[in-house]
Amino acid sequence: MTDQHHHPSHPQITARLKRAHGHLAKVISMLEAEASCTQIAQQLHAVEKAITNAKKVLIHDHIDHCLDPDMPVDMQDFREITKYL
């Protein structure tokens, strides 16, 4: 991709994704150790929540910083990013 840019939220998003990565590694080890399904489901829920929250922060940040409020709204860009909400 050539559209490289950085937002203040990127470290927060990275932290959320690292947390999800840790939870996912835990899920894998729990499956291998034959942990209870309830415990595994709880960890999977944590993975989903961390990823969902990271995605929301990214999309909201894009809307706030990449869609120029002084210009007519680029509906294509807006539609493209909001389809992931």
- Give the model confidence (pLDDT) of 39-77 as tens digits: 999 999 999 999 999 999 988 888 877 766 666 666 677
Residue pLDDT, tens place only, 17-27 = 999 999 999 99
Q: What is the CATH number of domain 10-82?
A: 1.20.58.1000
| Rounded Cα distance, 44 and 28, in Å | 10
Give the predicted TM-score (pTM) of the model: 0.73
Domain residue limits, the chain? 10-82
Q: Residue 8 has what pLDDT?
A: 85
* Alpha-carbon distances, residue 12 vs 16, 37, 38 (angstroms): 6, 30, 29
| Rounded Cα distance, 38 and 49, in Å | 16
The whole-number average pLDDT for the span 5-31 is 92
Q: Residue 60 has what pLDDT?
A: 86
| Rounded Cα distance, 16 and 66, in Å | 21
